[in-house]
Structure formats: C-alpha cells, structure tokens
Structure 1
Amino acid sequence: MTETPLTPEASVIVPSRGGAQRLPRLIGALAAQEDAPPFEVHVVVDGDVDGSEGVLAQLAAEHPELDLSWTVFRENRGRVAALNAGADATSGRILIRADDDLEPGPHYIRDHVAAHDDVRRGVIGLTANVLPDSAYQRVYGDAQDEAHRRHAYALPAEQQWRHWAGNVSVPRALHEELGGYDPDYRRYGWEDVDFGYRLHVAGYPVEIRPELETRHHAAAVTTYTKARRALHSGSARQIFIAKHGADALGGDRAPGGPWGAAVRAVAALSTERTIQYGSAVVERAAVVLPALVARKLIALQVEAAAETGRTRPGRARRQF
C-alpha cells in the first residue's frame, strides 16, 4: 500500500543563479531540520550557468527524505521571476524565501511556521554574514554587518518592513493578495523591500524575529562586490520611489556635511569601471593603512556607488 504524501505546511522557495557551490550547504541544512512540520523545497535556477541542475539532481539522491524539486529557466530572467515561479510551483500554506547562500539552523522551518500561528503577518529573519578572512572583512565587513543588524533590531515595529530580504516568510494567501513580487524590479535589489512595504501598506504587521537570524555566506566579500551591489541597489531604489514616493523612505536627499560632499564628489566620477579600479586600490591600501582610515575609504567607495545609482541610475547597466 502506497502512503499518501503529507500536504506541505510550508514551501521553501530558493531563487538561485550560479549557485552550484552554495546549494549543497543550504539543502543539507534543510534536510537536517528538527521538529519541522511537513515542508517542500523548490529551487528556481535563473539560467543554469554552472551545472546547478546536475547538483540538484545529486542532492535529491543524497537526501531522499527531503521533498526537493526545481525549475530551470533557459535564460536569466531575474530574481522576481524566480520567486514568483517558485510560489506558483508549490502548495504550502506558508511561503518561506531562503536565498541560496543561507545556512539555516535546525529549527528554521519550525520557527518560521510558528511565527504565523496567530496573526496574518510577514516575518523577517535577519542574516549574519560569514565572510572569508581578508582586509575587507577585518576593517569593514564584520563591523558593518553588526551595525546593520543592531540598527534593524532597534527599529520601531512600523519600520521593520524595510528589512524584507532573503530570509522571510508570509502566508501564501497574502502573497497572492499582493500579486507576488513586482516584475518592474529587474536589476539587483529592492524587489524585496517593495514587497515588505506593500504588506505594511495593506495593513499587515511585518516583524523581525530574532530567533530566525540565519548564517549568510555573503556574495559581497570585497570592496568591489559590495560597491557594485550598492550601485545597482541605488538604481533600483529609484524604481521604488517612483512607485511609492520618497516619503516612504523618509526622503531622497543627497548626503550632507563634509562626508556627504566627499561621497558626492566620488559619485560624480563613478562608473562600473571606475568602481572596479578604485576598489582594487582601496583593497591594496587597506592591508597597510590603520583600520579606521581603511574603513573610511571602503565606506566612501560603497556610499559613493550607492549615490551614483541614486542620481545616475543609467550607470548601473549590468543585470544580476
């Protein structure tokens, strides 16, 4: 007699591009979940550039206990298309987004689902970056990540939607009510913040839950990768403002004071090419300069890139 499979209570949606090296860690952690209700995992490969589909087939064989499936796009269609396709391909009551560079703890599924027991809401788990040892990590990366999480946890409840990102969950009914992620966000970033904001505007609480904080093997591990993402994010931010207005973010002002003047000056000259060159110079200098000076130089490069994206979005031409 064949057993009837249990209907999944949760669906874990994993958008992935170039994730062949990252997926084994994530899938292994999901296969090791404890006290979890029935759940499924669906990976959407956004253009298979590195043999990710073959890796997923191997992982499915290694973890037969895990309800693992996948969709492979023929070409790069972007993270929004991947997230929405993953939702359409699954059936769980709770949709959990887990980016492919996460390393969830053993109660990840249990705690995400439990957060939806009483009220219809959106739930956020922050991520703690795991960075390789480097001058960037020592003088800037770890400190910036810790400051980011400290600021997020201190936000009032009505502003926590700003941190909707790669470790979040929402009832399927709310995802469908909002129409999923907005396809107008094609470059890197802000499709997630947009979704969190729309939940907030629709009157649903959006909460950061400390128990859901998850290790994150970040892709931005150098000054250049951090600055390049800031450039694209700054560009995508303008899409958000066009849709919802600058007041949703507390305004859209250029940075002020002497530091702001320096940021604007570097931003005026920044392109993808100059960001790459300048970042390489900063990385070499960070090895020998005092930590405080090196930290300021890296911050200048990153913040100037974000300002370039904000004021000259056409300079962020490449896709993620």
Structure 2
Amino acid sequence: MTRASVIVPSRGGAQRLPRLLAALGAQTHPDVEIIVVVDGDIDGSETVLERSPITVRRVVFTENKGRSAALNAGFAAATGDVLIRCDDDLEPAPEWVAAHVAAHAGESVGVIGLYRNVYPDSPYARAYGRKADLLFAEEAYATPAERTWRYWAGNASVTRETFALIGPYSSAYRSYGWEDVDWGYRLHAASVPVRMLPSAESIHHSPSVSAAIRSRRAYLSGSARRTFERLHGVDAAGPLNRPGGVWGGAVRALAWRADEARVQRVASFVDRLIAVVPRPVGEKLVALTVESAAIAGYDRNEPSRSLV
C-alpha cells in the first residue's frame, strides 16, 4: 500500500486547522501521515494540534521562518511515498488523498489540484471574486502542458523520489508568493511533466475577500516575481502582463510610483465604492486596482536588489 504524507505549513492557523484535520481524518486512502509545521505559534495552534482527535505529527518553530522553511521542514520529516503539499485553509473531499496517490502510479509527474474558493456573500464576491475564480479555472485547465507549472501552489503532490531530485523550496522567498511557482518551474526545468488533476480539487476557505486583500497579495506577488527572475532569468515566467490601450493607460497611471501603502488606500476606497455602484462598474474597479497593484509591486522591487 502506498503511503501518503500530507505536509501542512501553518501560521496563525488555530481557527483553520480543526476543519482541515477533520477532512483529513475522513480520507478514504488507508495510509495517510499528517505533518503540520507551525511557523511560529502566535495563536495557540500547537494546543489545537495536541488536542486533535486524529494523529498529527508536529513541527513547531519557536519563531517565524517563512513559508519555504516550513515546507522544507515538513517534507524533511515526511516518510510517505507520495508527498502532498496542503495549505491549512483547505477542506479536501474524502477521496482527495486517493486521487493524488493514484496520479503517481505511472511515470514521474507533478500533480496540481486547483482551489474551489468559498466566499461569504459580499459586494466583492458578487462583483469580482466569483467570476474571477471561474475565469482562472478555465484558463488553468486550458493551459498547454508545458506551462502548467505556473499553477503549482498549496494543493500539489510529487513522489519522494521526485522531491529528492528537485530539492527544497527556495529560501529566497520570505514574503507572499512565488515560492510555489519557483518549485513548479524547477520541476518543469527537470523535464518532469506537471499535470492538472480535476479530481484533486479542494474547497478553499480563505480566499481574498476584499479588493484590499486581493490587491495587497497582487502587489507582494509582483514583487516576488522579481526574485523569481533573478533566480531563473527574465524569460522563464514570460512577460509581465502590461495591457495596452485606454485600459492599459489607466492601469499604468494607477501603478506609477505606487507603494504598498498607496495600493492599500486605493483598494480600501474601491471596497467602499463597490458596495454602491453597479456590479459591472465594481468589477472594473477591482480589476483596475488588482492589475495596477501587481505592476506596482514588480516595478518597486528593483532588479539590483540582493537576494535574502
């Protein structure tokens, strides 16, 4: 029987972990090891794990070391044949582990399951969030096989042998974003096929729930993209999307000289607006702030900045 290890990096996850652990305890696959790495306990997460009704192996950092360090500690502790990376805000279906394991029965591959975001009803969800998710999934499943590595994220798996081939997650990423994309790219660069697996999709309970949150993540992701380019070259990820025309001019104008604080101020104002403007207008306002935030984060992170 193939043993699966589920590796969960977590910070501030005391409220999220019980739901995930309940879902992992209901898996149909008979041999599942669960490893949770607490990246500095700021909310009693270790106590939640100690009281878990299912067996959980714990790795607890005394201080925040970042997502990559937490992932590497979890993968190093794993004993399974199939290693599944899992965010702490997921709620996978009972067949989730079995789907990941079955996908590794043949050749060496990397496997990606997309998120199915769950939103509270809100102007943001109605104007932008739900539609953006549908478009993202359509785009992901239509992506050519040689580009699917771009979607490597918090629901993905490889075999133990493949992880040993690729090596640990890069410590160059300390803020939000791109440590997963980096690892997916390294799979691709090693000629390991990366496949989307619809049967491994999982419910995701902590998506962006406002323009402010979504824009901040876009800004930090844009900044992290620079780190990726310094490690792998500017051509590895393809060109940054800089739209043209009138729309592109508006995006560039909003992004010009914007820092994270300005992005947050603008996005917070948009959150107030979308509660009162027609839905199509709200959608455009959120898209404008998100696209400009990504460009601003990228442009503010100078290429000459040294890796950390």
Say whether residues 1:125 and 2:113 are aligned partners.
yes
Counterparts of 1:257 and 1:73 in 2: how far apart (Å)? Answer: 49
Aligned to 1:4: none
Percent identity between the two aligned chains: 53
Aligned to 1:164: 152
CA displacement 1:71-92 (0-9 Å, x = unmatched): 1111111110000000111211
Amino acid at match of 2:258: S
Counterparts of 2:127 and 2:239 in 1: how far apart (Å)? Answer: 30
Query: How many correspondences in the alignment?
Result: 302
Say whether residues 1:215 and 2:215 are aligned partners.
no
State whether residues 131 and 137 of structure 1, in contact with CA within 8 Å, keep that contact through their aligned partners in structure 2. yes
More divergent stretch after superposition (274-283 vs 24-33): 274-283
Distance verdict in 2 for CA 1:173–1:278, change over 3 Å: same
State whether residues 39 and 64 of structure 2, in contact with CA within 8 Å, keep that contact through their aligned partners in structure 1. yes
Query: Which structure 2 segments of 5+ residues have no match?
Result: 303-308
For residues 220-231 of structure 1, the aligned pairs below 5 Å read 220-231=208-219
State whether residues 117 and 207 of structure 2, in contact with CA within 8 Å, keep that contact through their aligned partners in structure 1. no
Counterparts of 2:137 and 2:129 in 1: how far apart (Å)? Answer: 13
State whether residues 270 and 308 of structure 1, in contact with CA within 8 Å, keep that contact through their aligned partners in structure 2. yes
Counterparts of 1:138 and 1:254 in 2: how far apart (Å)? Answer: 26
SS of 2:51's equivalent in the other structure is helix
Aligned match for 1:247, one of 211, 229, 235: 235
Aligned to 1:29: 23
Query: Which structure 1 segments of 5+ residues have no match?
Result: 1-6, 315-320
State whether residues 4 and 82 of structure 2, in contact with CA within 8 Å, keep that contact through their aligned partners in structure 1. yes
State whether residues 8 and 39 of structure 1, in contact with CA within 8 Å, keep that contact through their aligned partners in structure 2. no
Counterparts of 2:245 and 2:39 in 1: how far apart (Å)? Answer: 42
Counterparts of 1:275 and 1:49 in 2: how far apart (Å)? Answer: 27
Q: By how many angstroms is 1:313 displaced?
A: 2.1
Aligned to 2:192: 204
Q: By how many angstroms is 1:253 displaced?
A: 5.7
Q: By how many angstroms is 1:287 displaced?
A: 1.1
Question: What root-mean-square deviation, in Å, do the aligned CA atoms of Structure 1 and Structure 2 show?
Answer: 1.4
CA displacement 1:184-242 (0-9 Å, x = unmatched): 11111111111111111111110001111111112421111111111110000111112
More divergent stretch after superposition (67-76 vs 78-87): 67-76
Counterparts of 2:295 and 2:269 in 1: how far apart (Å)? Answer: 20
Q: By how many angstroms is 1:249 displaced?
A: 2.1
SS of 2:41's equivalent in the other structure is coil
Counterparts of 2:294 and 2:81 in 1: how far apart (Å)? Answer: 37
Counterparts of 2:186 and 2:70 in 1: how far apart (Å)? Answer: 19
TM-score by length of 2: 0.95
Aligned to 1:286: 274
Amino acid at match of 1:302: V
Q: By how many angstroms is 1:23 displaced?
A: 0.4
Say whether residues 1:41 and 2:29 are aligned partners.
no
Aligned to 2:64: 76
Q: By how many angstroms is 1:248 displaced?
A: 2.0
